[in-house]
Amino acid sequence: MARFKILRIDPEKIDDRVIEEAARDVLEGKLVVFPTETVYGLGANAFDEQACREIFRVKGRPPDNPLIVHIAKSFDLYRVARDIPELAWKVVERIWPGPVTIVLPAGDMVPKAVTGGRETVAVRMPAHPVALRLIEKSSPLAAPSANKSGRPSPTTAQHVIEDYAEDDVELTILDAGPTYLGVESTIIDLTKIPPILLRPGPFTIEELEKALGVRIVVPQFAKGLGEADSALSPGVKYRHYSPRTHLILVEAESYDDMLKCIRDLLLSFSKQGKKVAILATIETNRELRTRYPDIEGLYEWIQLGSRANPYTVASRLYDALRALDKAGVEIGIVESFEERGLGLAIMNRLRKAAHSIHRA
Ligand code: TXA
Ligand code: MG
- CA 73, CA 59: separation in Å to the nearest integer? 27
Atom 15 in ligand 1: which residue has the minimum CA distance? Answer: 144
SS3 5: strand
CA of 202 from ligand 2 middle (Å) equals 15
> Could you tell me which residues are beta bridge partners of residue 143?
68
For 33, phi then psi, to 5°, come to: -85, 130
Mean pLDDT of all residues belonging to the chain: 96
Q: What is the pLDDT of residues 135-171, one digit of tens each?
A: 999 999 999 999 999 999 999 999 999 999 999 999 9
For 239, phi then psi, to 5°, come to: -65, 145
Determine whether the shortest distance from the Cβ of 121 to ligand 1 is under 6 A.
yes
Read out DSSP for 253-284?
Answer: SSHHHHHHHHHHHHHHHHHTT--EEEEE-HHH
Atom 17 in ligand 1: which residue has the minimum CA distance? Answer: 235
Q: What is the pLDDT of residues 303-341, one digit of tens each?
A: 999 999 999 999 999 999 999 999 999 999 999 999 999
> Could you tell me which residues are beta bridge partners of residue 104?
121
Confidence category of residue 212, pLDDT binned at 50, 70, 90: very high
Determine whether 168 is exposed, middle or buried from the number of CB atoms within 10 Å of its CB (0-12, 13-18, 19+).
Answer: exposed
Confidence category of residue 205, pLDDT binned at 50, 70, 90: very high
Contact (CB, 8 A) for 149 and 164? no
Q: Give the chain's length.
A: 360
Residue 236 has pLDDT above 70, yes or no: no
Tell me how crowded residue 39 is: count the other CB atoms within 10 A of its CB: 26
Please report which helix (H) or strand (E) contains residue 90, including its range: helix 86-94
- CA 65, CA 56: separation in Å to the nearest integer? 9
Determine whether the shortest distance from the Cβ of 103 to ligand 1 is under 6 A.
yes
Task: Specify the pLDDT at position 225.
Answer: 81
CA of 298 from ligand 2 middle (Å) equals 34
Atom 18 in ligand 1: which residue has the minimum CA distance? Answer: 235
Q: In this structure, are strands 68-70 and 246-251 parallel, antiparallel, or unpaired?
A: unpaired
Atom 27 in ligand 1: which residue has the minimum CA distance? Answer: 122
Determine whether the shortest distance from the Cβ of 129 to ligand 1 is under 6 A.
no
Of residues 3 and 241, which shows the higher confidence score? Answer: 3
CA distances from 19 to 12, 13, 79, 132, 177 (A): 13, 12, 23, 10, 15
- Nearest 10 degrees: CA dihedral of 321, 242, 288, 277? -70
Closest ligand 1 atom to residue 42 Cα is 6
CA of 154 from ligand 2 middle (Å) equals 9
- CA 70, CA 40: separation in Å to the nearest integer? 12
> Quick one: which of 308, 250, 311, 303 has its CA closest to 280?
303
- CA 234, CA 256: separation in Å to the nearest integer? 37
Q: Which residues, other chains included, contact 293 with Cβ-Cβ below 8 Å and sequence gap of 6+?
A: none
Determine whether the shortest distance from the Cβ of 33 to ligand 1 is under 6 A.
no
Contact (CB, 8 A) for 238 and 61? no
Closest ligand 1 atom to residue 143 Cα is 6
Ligand nearest to the CA of 32: 1
- CA 181, CA 160: separation in Å to the nearest integer? 17
SS3 183: coil
Q: What is the pLDDT of residues 269-312, one digit of tens each?
A: 999 999 999 999 999 999 999 999 999 999 999 999 999 999 99
SS3 37: coil
The percent of residues above 70 in pLDDT, for the chain, comes to 98
CA distances from 173 to 56, 131, 166, 179, 182 (A): 17, 12, 16, 14, 18
Determine whether the shortest distance from the Cβ of 22 to ligand 1 is under 6 A.
no
Residue 72 has pLDDT above 80, yes or no: yes
Q: How many CA atoms lie within 13 A of 285 on its CB side?
A: 16
Tell me how crowded residue 13 is: count the other CB atoms within 10 A of its CB: 7
